[in-house]
Amino acid sequence: MKKFDALNFMTGFLAFAVMFFIYFPMLIVVIYSFNADTVNSFPIKHFSLKWYGVLIQNKTLLTSLKISALIGIFGTAVALVIGTMGALAMHKHNFKLKRFFERIVLLPITLPGILTGIAMLSFFPLLGISISLTAVVIGHTTFLICLVLTQVYARFKRLDPYLEEAAADLGSTPWQTFWKVTLPNIKTAIIGASLLSFTLSLDEIPVTFFLIARDNTLPIEIYTMLRRGITPEVNAISTIIFIISLIALILSVKFGERETKII
Amino acid sequence: MTNSIELKDIEKYFGTNRVIPKLNLTIHQGEFITLLGPSGCGKTTLLRMIAGFETPTSGRVLLENEDITSLPPYKRNVNTVFQNYALFPHLNVSENIAFGLKQKGITGEKLTNAVKDVLETVQMGSFINRKPKELSGGQQQRIALARAIVNQPKVLLLDEPLAALDLKLRKQMQFELKQLHQQLGITFVFVTHDQEEALTMSDRIAVMNKGVIEQLDAPQELYGHPKSRFVADFIGENNTLSGTYNGTHFVSEGFSIPISSTVPKGKSLLFIRPEHIYIHREHPENKHKIEAKVIGKTFLGNLWRVRCKISNGEMVDVSVKPDEIAKINDTDTVFLSWNDQKSNLIHNQ
Amino acid sequence: MFLKLKPSFYLLFLPLALWMLLFLVLPYTRVFIQSFYTIDDFGVLQPALSFDSYKRFFTKELYYFTLFKTFGLSAVVTAIALIVSIPLAYYIAFKATKNKTLLYTLIILPLWVSYIVRAYAWKIILGEEGILNSFLQFIGFIDSPISALLYSDLAVVIGMVHIYTPFVLMPIYTSFEQIPTSLVEASKDLGANRFITFFKVVLPLSLPGIITGGTFAFVLSLGDFLAPNLLGGSNTLFISNIFQNMFGTSNDKPLGSAIGIVLLVVVLFVLDMSSRAEKRYSSLNSDRT
């Protein structure tokens, strides 16, 4: 038998307490999504799937889910193309402002979303882009591009530079080299970046908040519902979002290696 | 003998930094040539210019009399074995090897046979479906070699291919590479900083320093007759004495040695290798002798190395057989002598 | 500057550069310019070069007081998040052996879960008719619900700590992971006990990670307007709420822009300080990105 170790016990206890603090609220939401009552109070008197039923009837919420998914897919697709191309350009070439540019592309990820949102709100109309879903898509795509770029570029930096030379040495043109050697070796980073992009787009509020007109995205719709007062179906939709996030994460851990971390 | 590679008036700048000033080199058909030098001497840059990864700032690169200076790497019939092997991690062994042939449009049975044959050549027949990360360093090295030679290049470029291997495996691979060279009959251009490796494998060695070829010769010639202090010091162990040549004698503080040489009068250097020096306790009859004081001795296994201080203050190392070492003690006064032909006198600008 | 580069570079880089210019750099520039504009009596923007907005921001107590309060609350959130993260990261990095991957996944999972869901969770827990109140009543600890739980500074701080702790955990865990075990062993070999080893070896070596994590929490809290909106009462205003208001009900875009620029400068300053500090305190040669 191992001797009781007070220090180890304390660390373990603290760690457990923090884990509990992180997961407790989410567990509450999941549990109360099966609460038949309209009020979220303790203890739960009846369990039911009632709110999931209400959810399916809620046209506005379902439309907002569809809008969110479309924005996420479109934004991620555009961001993948532009971001990967940009990462490739920065990987292949050296130019004077490279360091500066590396910092610039980090800004949309690190700066408060509200700043970016209001900046876009102030400028997009001058470009002839009215406050609408188009504006939201552009807004999302902007920070998704930066996200993809950072992640893919990080992978490029770790990529053995001699692989591409070896391909050229064996007779591949630059174009063939990209498809046959470069792409297969950054594939996991691209998959990871897409999953992360899609999830972030699906969750995004601050930028969307300022650019949206009538049609709400899912989180904005939930936000509006919360402003109006708590409706128990939010528990149900939150549980579904929680599960979707869980699946996305598991996929990304499987594919994305370590680039998927958000930092 | 026809020329395989010719480098003509090659100059290379990285930014404003000149790494290779005006360099000429002719490589013969089928020879094993080594570019030898310390890191940063420009040997890898030279190799990369032959491969096509770098373009010379000025000058021309010829492959079998054809100007390939501005040809991209994928259009040159030369192949490279990279220092870290650069095997494609997403492809298995046979796909790695087939890569170059597929680029040339070779498919089907012809492709499969070529891959099989070359795997036999490098004795890796049973590893055909492995991924690179499932192979040891030595195995990866063989696959990298196979991937290059399967394309039957006119020239095979090897960029320190053995550097990552441990000593025993390195010796083994040196031997196999040499055999492979004889078997294939193609030109090998080998880059290394390891002088022993260069001496054992090469037909000719180009010793490089600061972007300049200091000496280009066969190994024996290079070892026996170094033409500069850099070459003498870089290849093998060496003692350098500094003094002046007056037309008949090499003179320094406290000693004078008769030498007949074509070297011009004036400041000069005398090179003698430790194993060519005899150590005497009594005054010898030999006319090339210097008085010296023993400073210390080191055991090397098959030999002892005795360090002596001579009258002009310079240190001289001497190889001594184990059965003679007992007679030599620290602070002893001894006499050093050597055979005239074994020393090399050069002019020192 | 790009003159010597090949055409393929432009082809790859141009879409990115154009996009960033049009949709990121110019919008921010617009806010900057707008902060010097004035508005007429109808709230319509008038181009001008006036420092009036900045003057108003720094002279009206509500504004600069809110800025300080935002700083204060963000600092509290950061401090708690750090205190909470270090033991957990330490446990997973050094103590957990069997379920390391699972635990690691568990701490990054919240990063993937919707912000709104996490904020909402605290709303139903802390509300007047919420779970905590009804639980306390149920066990007989209180007779009538405590109304001050939700819509308070406390609720905002709890919510933010909960939301931003995973951002702090990640870099700290990573920097713990990068410490070679040999260093910890060397410290013990030289006679340091676990406490001393932690404070003199582990903590100093993981300082870059702690700085990164702290910066994340601080900057994210500074710019958050949703948690105060959802969990804070009418008097829990963050600077971002005032900022947001100027573009909404108050309709004072120049003042709003000036607040935005102040916030931007503050955030950039914090980010710059932190990246300097990180470089200064990084003693391990790591290729952290």
What distance in Å separates the CA atoms of residue A143 and residue A199, rounded to the nearest whole number? 13
The A residues from 59 to 118 touching C (CB cutoff 8 Å) are 81-83, 85-86, 88-90, 92-93, 95-97, 104-105, 107-108, 110-116, 118
Contacts of C225 in chain A (CB under 8 A): 114, 206
Which of B74, B87, B104 has the CB atom closest to A168's CB atom? B74
Q: What's the farthest any 2 CA atoms get from each other in chain A?
A: 74
Question: How is residue B47 written in tokens?
Answer: 């190799």
Contacts of A185 in chain B (CB under 8 A): 88-90
Tell me the pLDDT band of A3, cut-offs 50, 70 and 90: low
Tell me the per-residue pLDDT of A109-136, one tens digit each, with 9 for 90 and over.
Answer: 888 999 999 999 999 999 998 888 999 9
The mean of the pLDDT values for chain C is 85
Closest of A149, A70, A56 to residue A107, by C-alpha: A149
Name, in order, each residue with C-beta under 8 angstroms of B234's C-beta and a sequence gap of 6 or more: B36, B37, B38, B195, B207, B209
DSSP B217-259: E-HHHHHHS-SSHHHHHHSS--EEEEEEE-SSEEEETTEEEE-
Helix (H) or strand (E) holding B21: strand B17-28
Which of C110, C125, C225 has the CB atom closest to A114's CB atom? C225
Contacts of C117 in chain A (CB under 8 A): 26, 29, 222, 238, 241-242
- Contact in structure between B53 and A168 (CB atoms under 8 Å): yes
At residue C105, the pLDDT reads 79
Residue C145 pLDDT greater than 70, yes or no: yes
Residue from A169, A179, A190, A255 to probe the interface with B (highest B Cβ count within 10 Å): A169
Measured at the alpha carbon of residue C53, what is the angle toward residues C47 and C54, in degrees to the nearest 5? 125
Contacts of A168 in chain B (CB under 8 A): 52-53, 72-74
Residue from C3, C113, C164, C237 to probe the interface with A (highest A Cβ count within 10 Å): C113
Arithmetic mean of pLDDT, C210-224 = 93
What distance in Å separates the CA atoms of residue B238 and residue B343, rounded to the nearest whole number? 10
- Please say whether the dihedral angle defined by the alpha carbons of residues A227, A231, A235 and A238, taken in this order, is positive or negative: negative
Tell me the pLDDT band of A1, cut-offs 50, 70 and 90: very low
- Contact in structure between A235 and A40 (CB atoms under 8 Å): yes
At position B167, the amino acid (one-letter code) is: L
The B residues from 62 to 121 touching A (CB cutoff 8 Å) are 72-75, 78-80, 82-84, 86-90, 99-100, 103-104
The A residues from 225 to 254 touching C (CB cutoff 8 Å) are 226, 230, 234-235, 238, 241-242, 245-246, 248-250, 253
Tell me the per-residue pLDDT of C7-64, one tens digit each, with 9 for 90 and over.
Answer: 778 888 899 999 999 999 999 999 999 999 988 877 788 888 889 889 988 898 888 8
At residue A119, the pLDDT reads 94
Arithmetic mean of pLDDT, C225-249 = 84
At residue B6, the pLDDT reads 95
CATH of region C62-288: 1.10.3720.10
Which has more confidence, B340 or A205? Answer: A205
The tokens 């194993």 sit on which residue? B275
Chains that touch C (3 or more CB pairs under 8 A): A
Residue B226 pLDDT greater than 90, yes or no: yes
What distance in Å separates the CA atoms of residue A75 and residue A141, rounded to the nearest whole number? 5
CA R_g for chain B: 25
Find the range with the poorest average confidence among A33-47, A104-118, B50-64, C250-264.
Answer: A33-47
Closest of B291, B117, B144, C221 to residue A163, by C-alpha: B144
Residue from A8, A24, A42 to probe the interface with C (highest C Cβ count within 10 Å): A42
Beta strands (DSSP E) in chain B are 3-14, 17-28, 32-36, 58-63, 66-67, 78-81, 155-159, 187-192, 204-209, 212-217, 239-245, 249-252, 255-258, 266-272, 277-280, 289-299, 304-310, 315-320, 333-338, 344-347
Q: Compute CA B285 distance to the chain's CA centroid, rounded to the nearest angstrom.
A: 38
Tell me the per-residue pLDDT of A17-46, one tens digit each, with 9 for 90 and over.
Answer: 998 998 888 888 888 888 887 777 777 777
Question: How many contacts (CB atoms, under 8 Å) link A and B?
Answer: 67
- Contact in structure between C138 and A43 (CB atoms under 8 Å): yes
Contact A22 C165 (CB under 8 A): yes
- Contact in structure between B76 and B69 (CB atoms under 8 Å): no
Closest of A111, B122, A250 to residue C25, by C-alpha: A111
Closest of B325, B321, B343 to residue B334, by C-alpha: B325
Q: Residue C199, Cβ neighbours under 10 Å: how many?
A: 11
- For C140, phi then psi, to 5°, come to 80, 20
Contacts of B52 in chain A (CB under 8 A): 168-169
Arithmetic mean of pLDDT, A52-77 = 91
The CA distance from B78 to the nearest CA of chain A, in Å, is 7
Q: Which domains does chain B have, with CATH numbers?
A: 3-229 (3.40.50.300), 238-347 (2.40.50.140)
Of all residues in chain A, what percent carry a pLDDT higher than 70?
94
Q: Helix or strand or coil: residue C140?
A: coil
Residue B166 pLDDT greater than 70, yes or no: yes
Contacts of C5 in chain A (CB under 8 A): 93, 95
Phi-psi region of A5 (alpha: psi -120 to 50; beta: other; left: phi over 0): beta
Residue B278 pLDDT greater than 70, yes or no: yes
At residue C39, the pLDDT reads 86
Tell me the pLDDT band of C289, cut-offs 50, 70 and 90: very low
Name, in order, each residue with C-beta under 8 angstroms of C21's C-beta and a sequence gap of 6 or more: none
Half-sphere exposure of A1 (CA within 13 A, CB side): 3
Residue C161 pLDDT greater than 90, yes or no: yes
Helix (H) or strand (E) holding C10: helix C7-20
Contacts of A83 in chain C (CB under 8 A): 16
At residue B69, the pLDDT reads 93
Tell me the pLDDT band of A98, cut-offs 50, 70 and 90: confident
Contact A112 C112 (CB under 8 A): no
Arithmetic mean of pLDDT, C247-267 = 90
Residue C1 pLDDT greater than 70, yes or no: no
Contact A226 C166 (CB under 8 A): no
The ranges assigned to domains in chain C are 62-288
Cis check for the bond before B56: say yes or no (omega within 30 of 0).
no
At position C85, the amino acid (one-letter code) is: S
Tell me the pLDDT band of A230, cut-offs 50, 70 and 90: low
Closest of B224, B214, B271, B223 to residue B243, by C-alpha: B271
- Contact in structure between C27 and A120 (CB atoms under 8 Å): yes
Arithmetic mean of pLDDT, B32-46 = 94
Give Cα separations from A140 to A74, A135, C279 (angstroms).
10, 9, 31
Find the range with the poorest average confidence among A93-102, B193-202, B251-260, C4-13.
Answer: C4-13
Question: How is residue B21 written in tokens?
Answer: 């000033």
Residue A50 pLDDT greater than 70, yes or no: yes
- Name the CATH architecture for the domain at A58-262: Orthogonal Bundle (1.10)
The mean of the pLDDT values for chain A is 86
Contact C271 A110 (CB under 8 A): yes
User: Are 3 or more Cβ–Cβ pairs between C and A shorter than 8 Å?
Assistant: yes
Q: Is A175 on the interface with C (CB under 8 A)?
A: no
Residue B319 pLDDT greater than 90, yes or no: yes
Tell me the pLDDT band of C3, cut-offs 50, 70 and 90: very low
Beta strands (DSSP E) in chain C are 38-39, 45-46
Residue C2 pLDDT greater than 60, yes or no: no
Q: Across-strand partners of B22?
A: none
Residue A263 pLDDT greater than 50, yes or no: no
Arithmetic mean of pLDDT, A8-13 = 84
Helix (H) or strand (E) holding C8: helix C7-20
Question: How many contacts (CB atoms, under 8 Å) link A and C?
Answer: 252
The ranges assigned to domains in chain A are 58-262
Residue C286 pLDDT greater than 70, yes or no: no
What distance in Å separates the CA atoms of residue B94 and residue A69, rounded to the nearest whole number? 42
Question: How is residue A119 written in tokens?
Answer: 């900046």
Arithmetic mean of pLDDT, A197-209 = 90
ipTM score of complex: 0.86
